[in-house]
């Protein structure tokens, strides 16, 4: 796998790696299920804000909760894109490329790459959970001390986070990705392999207009909290407010 950052030593500063899976915010290539009613430019802008949110919040989680993690950004279509290069510089994150024909193959490769660097625990998280409570990362790390696999269930039947203590390529083979059976099928595979599995709390990711509307509502409620308790960034809250106005005019 091509590396965009130099990190050749197998000695890691931390014993865990958190890998944020992200697509570049290119209009027409991300969040297409939200279009229409969103335009492709609106969807790409929202997605880009989500990516930045995840980078900012995981950085805060690592510092505030003293989590022993190194953060990586798994990039598609290529870590050489200017957007990702800027993220590397501004967010103190290491870049790797996503490699594989489907999501399962790309996750399997990411796990293999990070375990190959010497990490003892590796987590992958998506970018569609920008307001995920920071404590969820702490819970996942703690659970992996006594379990073989940790999953963060998404409300649509998938999962937004997966953590492992060693490569388990079988978990990613034969899964019907982007369906409501992903979580259940993964649980069944884990059971057949004799793996001890733990779940952290469920969370909603953003794939449909209903998901987007729920996020808009959550952001509006979040804005009423004291500033230091707010989960949404000012950037994403503003984008959601703008989209909410547009959706009202289109319905």
- pLDDT, residue 13, reads 52
Q: For 121-136, how does the pLDDT look when each residue is reduced to its tens digit (9 = 90+)?
A: 999 999 999 999 999 9
pLDDT at 70 over 90: yes
| pLDDT of 65 over the 70 cut | yes
Categorize the per-residue pLDDT at 250 as very low, low, confident or very high, splitting at 50, 70 and 90. low
Average pLDDT over residues 64-80: 96
Please give the average per-residue pLDDT across 239-251, as a whole number.
86
For residues 87-110, average pLDDT: 97
Rounded to an integer, the average pLDDT of 132-160 is 97
pLDDT value at 249 more than 90:
no
The predicted pLDDT at position 246 comes to 86
Average pLDDT, the chain: 93
Q: What is the DSSP secondary-structure string of the chain?
A: --BSS----S--SSSEEEEEEEE---TTTSSGGGTTTS-HHHHHHHHHHHHHHHHHHHHHHHHHTT--EEEEEEEES-TTSHHHHHHHHHHT-EEEE--SSSHHHHHHHHHHHHHHTT-SEEEEE-SS-TT--THHHHHHHHHTTT-SEEEEEBTTSSEEEEEESS--GGGGTT--TTSTTHHHHHHHHHHHTT--EEEPPPB----SHHHHHHHHHHHHHHTTS-GGG--S-HHHHHHHHHHHHHHHHH-
pLDDT tens, 173-209?
999 999 999 999 999 999 999 999 999 999 999 999 9
The pLDDT, as a whole number, for residue 251 is 56
Region of poorest pLDDT, from 7-11, 86-90, 148-152, 161-165: 7-11
Structural domains of the chain sorted by starting position, each given as residue range(s) with its CATH number in brackets: 16-205 (3.90.550.10)
The arithmetic mean of pLDDT across residues 239-250, rounded, is: 88
Does residue 244 surpass a pLDDT of 50?
A: yes
Q: What's the pLDDT score for residue 11?
A: 45
Task: Determine what percent of the chain is predicted with pLDDT higher than 90.
Answer: 91
């Amino acid at each position: 796998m091509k590396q965009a950052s130099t990190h050749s030593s197998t000695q890691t500063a931390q014993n865990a790696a958190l890998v944020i899976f992200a697509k570049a915010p290119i209009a027409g290539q991300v969040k297409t299920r939200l279009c229409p009613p969103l335009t492709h430019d609106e969807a790409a802008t929202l997605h880009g804000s989500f990516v930045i949110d995840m980078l900012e919040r995981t950085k805060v989680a690592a510092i505030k909760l003293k989590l022993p993690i190194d953060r990586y950004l798994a990039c598609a279509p290529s870590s050489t894109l200017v957007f990702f290069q800027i993220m590397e510089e501004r967010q103190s994150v290491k870049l790797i490329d996503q490699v594989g024909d489907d999501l399962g193959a790309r996750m399997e490769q990411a796990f293999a790459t990070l375990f190959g660097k010497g990490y003892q625990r590796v987590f992958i998280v998506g970018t569609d959970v920008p307001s995920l409570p920071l404590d969820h990362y702490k819970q996942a790390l703690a659970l992996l001390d006594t379990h073989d696999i940790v999953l963060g269930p998404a409300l649509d039947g998938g999962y937004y986070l997966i953590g492992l203590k060693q490569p388990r390529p079988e978990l990613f083979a034969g899964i019907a990705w982007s369906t409501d059976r992903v979580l259940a099928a993964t649980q069944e595979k884990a059971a057949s392999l004799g793996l001890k599995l733990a779940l952290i709390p469920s969370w909603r990711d953003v794939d449909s207009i209903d998901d987007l509307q729920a996020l808009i509502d959550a952001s509006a409620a979040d804005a009423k909290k004291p500033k230091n308790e707010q989960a949404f960034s000012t950037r994403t809250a503003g984008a959601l407010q703008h989209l909410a106005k547009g959706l009202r005019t289109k319905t």
